Chain A
């Protein structure tokens, strides 16, 4: 898994790429927790994620909770169909704010 972090005017965008699984999710978790700790809204771009397993989703959940505790925001954008099914199965689609595109996500956090 690779990741890219870029700062836009209103948010930090974390773009994950590849598979987020048992091997790579600890790295994803570290990156996400670092970003939500910056006290800026975080958009997690999942458009280039081929597969995300439960450990990856758990890292997203922990990051969301950490962000909320500190009054920050975390938004998921461009969630793939497969990842969405996993989120829906655990009813997490009701927990996360999910936007179709990065642009929509930026509008959401403005």
Chain B
């Protein structure tokens, strides 16, 4: 990981997961990514352990959504290495990547359900794509997952007929239909009322316990993060500020971590030269035009 004077990497703590010495299912080493010439992730190093719930937090523009997309193997990095389930994703063939993706489930922030398909058809989609299971088996699996997310009997509705919370739960059902080894959740509680959000948190905890999944959650909801996380990764401007347990993060003396926890606005002190460079486009290549 890139050195950052504010970075805290606590020594191996006494959490239960470490006592069991679980394997690492995600290993990221010095990951750097760019969008165009803009560097988004600036040397990120972290690992996610088997059966762990890792929450990634950070303010807007911190790089957390970008990091999530890379962890889901949806985008390739500029430099550094990333292993998912022991496989270096840069070295995978298209077919190997296809097989790896079968082991990953993704619950997108928007739900990303297909509006022209029923809830049941949406949920069964990965099974049609990746398996030759008998139709009866598929349908029973879909109904089981709807039961798990408390949407039993909703399989024949269209997504437009669901509330926001129901869409999120249906997206969860689709994400877990293949019993993934790793489940990625992008802002699962965003836009939900506190009761529904809390129920989704419980669902994440239940799924981990019952299905032994490793879960990576990106969220800016502090209450949710503290409820579900085994460890948190705090990102700031493409750097990792800290990785630690809930207790370690709460007790952190890092000012920027505390600002995030206390919802304090970012220090608006500016570097005049950097600001001038940004305005004139020199910072991103000299002759850049809008």
Please report A residues at the B interface, Cβ cutoff 8 Å: 21-22, 25-26, 29, 53-55, 57-59, 61-62, 82, 85-86, 88-92
Contacts and interface: CB of A to CB of B under 8 A. Distances in A.
A22 B147 CA distance: 20
Contact of B210 (A22, A58, A89): A89
7 contacts: A54-B144, A61-B140, A82-B212, A85-B211, A86-B211, A89-B207, A91-B147
- The listed residue with most A CB atoms (<10 A of its CB), out of B179, B206, B209, B211, is B179
A58 B212 contact: no
Contacts of B145: 54, 90
Interface in B118-145: 130-134, 136-138, 140-141, 144-145
Given A62-B140, A91-B147, A85 B210 contact: yes
Nearest to B212: A82
Which range holds the interface residue count of chain B?
20 to 34
B148 A89 contact: yes
B137 A59 contact: yes
A91 B210 CA distance: 12
A82 B211 CA distance: 8
B140 A58 contact: yes
A86 B147 CA distance: 12
Contacts of A25: 133, 137
A83 to B, nearest CB: 10
Nearest to A61: B140
A54 B136 contact: no
Nearest to B207: A89
Contacts of A62: 136-137, 140
A86 B212 CA distance: 10
Contacts of A59: 137
Contact of A22 (B133, B140, B144, B211): B133
Given A86-B210, A89-B210, A54 B133 contact: no
Interface of B is mostly: helix
B167 interface: no
A61 to B, nearest CB: 5
Contact of B179 (A26, A54, A85, A92): A54
Given A53-B179, A62-B140, A29 B134 contact: yes
Contacts of A57: 144
Given A26-B134, A54-B141, 20 more contacts: A21-B179, A22-B133, A25-B137, A26-B133, A54-B144, A54-B177, A54-B179, A55-B131, A55-B137, A57-B144, A58-B136, A58-B140, A58-B141, A85-B211, A86-B210, A86-B211, A89-B148, A90-B147, A90-B148, A92-B144
A54 B142 CA distance: 9
B178 A22 contact: yes
Contacts of B211: 85-86, 89
Contacts of A88: 210
- The listed residue with most B CB atoms (<10 A of its CB), out of A26, A57, A58, is A58
Nearest to A88: B210
Interface in B157-192: 177-179
A49 B145 CA distance: 22
